[in-house]
Amino acid sequence: MSLLSAEHVCVRFGAEEVLHDISLTVAPGEIVTILGPNGSGKSTLLRALLGIVPVAEGRILREAGLRIGYVPQRLTIDRTLPITVRRFLSLPVRVSDAAAAEALARVGMAGQEGEQMATLSGGQQQRVLLARALLGKPQILMLDEPTSGLDQPGEAAFYRLIEEVRRDTGAAVLMVSHDLHVVMAASDRVICLNGHICCEGTPRVVSSAPEYRALFGLGTQGALALYRHEHDHDHDAAHPHHHRHDHQHLHDHARDHAHDHA
Amino acid sequence: MLDDFLIRAGLAAVGLSLATGPLGSFVVWRRMAYFGDATAHAAILGVALALATDLPIGLGTLTVALAMAVTVAGLSARGWAMDTTLGVLAHSALAFGLVAVSFFPTVRTDLSSYLFGDILAVSRTDLALVWLGALAVLALLAWRWQALLTATLSEDLAHAAGLRPDRERLILVLALALVVAVALKIVGALLIAAMLIIPAATARSFARTPEAMAGLAILIGALSGLGGLGLSLWQDTPTGPSIIVVAAGLFALASARRQA
């Protein structure tokens, strides 16, 4: 029984096919991460699942009456728009003061009702967005790079919070990310995306898949992969190594890499 | 009581600000200032159209303002370079309107009342139309308030909550056309956008919530209207510009207070 699924979904912007033949499902209570480099279409996939972006082919199935809690990448609030945290939590559905206070306490923002949204730090704003999403008692939380504005400790704390929320409410979590280390630990399942689904599975399976290594092997965001790479191949230092970072090079290299392990 | 032209003028100004306060807040939040200009300038073309077809002036301006607003909204949804497009549309609409109106000699002499308003000549019927129009705009905005506000903060959040941001945008467009039709008589086509933006921008300094800002903008708009009326009587200045002068003065005071 799945909450949300995509069947052979294609998304096009004009003539360009951004997403090709995507099929996925999210079951109740599981944490699924869509992982991919910049420009891989991962935000577009989330937006398609939400119904913001129309699909050109295939279809998106939601359980009837599915309650979705959406946390966007960030919220840019125009300085001309005054709005307190408390008022923001009542959009678009008005909630009671007690419910608002409880949701804020849940995300570690107790007593911050009177703050102006525009003056919050990136981390605080993400917490408020999460609180607002939780007020709808979601069956699934959908988060689009929720930690892109946070430093590393803030990021780790935010993912811990997501896990707590899942444990306490039983909500499924579908999130998008381009960073690896924390996500890997926090997810039940990882879908590796680059226009199409390259590979998917548990974090352990995915992180050793050649397709995954091809994508993240030497990419600038692949901190963990880079670390592993250098760790596994300390003899590389002896060779003059061209860090040209073009895709072909990465691909070949990752194949070698996988081969070494075989 | 309504026999006195001054009382009618005052009531018209207050009635108008009921609509311009909340709508102007959305214009400021969504950065639609130029959009307001284009719609308002199209009203002159509406005057010409009404005269040519013997329709009431209000109906002519409403129709043309609505057509302009829908056109602009459509173009912006398709991702045109809005700054240039709006500039072209706003000024062309004004120029076409002025040329078209010049074919009617009776209006030619009276053109300034359409450009700068003629609040002292507001009749009972005008007054009724101003209040009806303003209350309709107020009701429309109040009905869609939560959805409009959500879509203004983030179209994605609105979408995810099952709202339709494009429909909410259309509501604002409709409200804007109504306000233009209503405000033409009071502040004139050239200054309608000012009546939307300046009171709302002034209210921003004092407000902590969107509702407070909209409410304060109503108050500041009404004050500007009455103050401008007074200034106009005292110094025999054109009333529409006088109202905006007072509004701008209040804005300057509020900004100075904020700096201090």
3-state secondary structure chain B: CCCCHHHHHHHHHHHHHHHHHHHHHHHHHCCCHHHHHHHHHHHHHHHHHHHHHCCCHHHHHHHHHHHHHHHHHHHHHCCCCHHHHHHHHHHHHHHHHHHHHCCCHHHHCCHHHHHHCCHHHCCHHHHHHHHHHHHHHHHHHHHCHHHHHHHHHCHHHHHHCCCCHHHHHHHHHHHHHHHHHHHHHHHCHHHHHHHHHHHHHHHHCCCCCHHHHHHHHHHHHHHHHHHHHHHHHHHCCCHHHHHHHHHHHHHHHHHHHHHC
Interface membership of B161 toward A (CB under 8 Å): yes
Cα Rg of chain A, angstroms: 20
User: Among A50, A90, A94, whose Cβ lies nearest the Cβ of B159?
Assistant: A50
How confident is the model over A67-90, as pLDDT tens digits? 999 998 888 888 899 999 999 999
Q: What share of chain A is helix, strand, coil (3-state, %, to 5)?
A: 40, 25, 35
**CB within 8 A of A188, min separation 6: which ones?**
A30, A31, A32, A202
- Reported as type and span, the H/E element at residue A164 is helix A152-169
Tell me the pLDDT tens digit for each residue of A115-152. Answer: 999 999 888 999 999 999 999 999 999 999 888 777 77
Please tell me which of the candidates B152, B159, B208 has its beta carbon nearest to residue A82.
B208
Give which of A162, A85, A103, A42 is closest to B153, Cα–Cα: A85
Per-residue pLDDT at A14 exceeds 70: yes
CA–CA distance, A8 with A24 (Å, rounded to integer): 9
Q: Measuring CA to CA, how many Å separate B219 from each of A68, A76, A96, A197?
A: 39, 28, 29, 57
- Distance in angstroms (rounded) separating the CA atoms of residues B30 and B32: 6
- Write the CB contacts of A62 (distance below 8 Å, at least 6 apart in sequence): A3, A4
CB A191 within 8 Å of CB A42:
no
Nearest CB neighbour to A92, from listed B31, B147, B212: B147
pLDDT at residue A212 in the model: 77
- Among B30, B201, B209, the residue with its CB nearest the CB of A87 is B209
In whole angstroms, give the CA distance from residue B257 to residue B252: 9
Instruction: Extract the tokens encoding B76.
Output: 């912006």
Does the distance separating the beta carbons of B204 and A82 come in below 8 Å? yes
Tell me if chain A has a CB within 8 Å of the CB of B163: yes
Contact A142 B31 (CB under 8 A): no
Q: Which DSSP symbol is given to A12? A: E
Probe site for chain B from A70, A73, A80, A137 (most B CB atoms < 10 A): A80
Q: Which of B28, B150, B156, B211 to mutate to test the interface with A (most CBs of A within 10 A)?
A: B156
Query: The pTM is what?
Result: 0.84
Chain B, nearest residue to A89 by Cα: B150
Q: What residues of A are in contact with residue B28 (Cβ under 8 Å)?
A: 80
Residue B144 near chain A (CB below 8 Å) = no
Contacts of B146 in chain A (CB under 8 A): 90-94
Going residue by residue through chain B, which has 260 residues, state the pLDDT in tens, using 9 for 90 and above: 566 888 999 999 999 999 999 999 999 999 888 888 888 888 888 888 888 888 888 889 999 989 988 888 787 777 666 678 888 888 898 899 889 888 887 766 678 888 888 888 888 999 999 999 999 999 999 999 999 999 999 988 998 888 998 889 889 989 999 999 888 888 888 889 999 999 999 999 999 999 999 999 999 999 999 999 999 889 988 888 999 999 999 999 999 887 76
- Chain A touched by B213 (CB under 8 Å): yes
Report ipTM for this prediction.
0.87
How far does the CA of residue A259 sit from the closest CA of chain B (Å)?
44
> What residues of B are in contact with residue A51 (Cβ under 8 Å)?
159-160
In tens, the pLDDT along A201-260 reads: 888 777 777 777 777 764 444 444 433 433 343 344 444 444 444 443 334 444 444 444
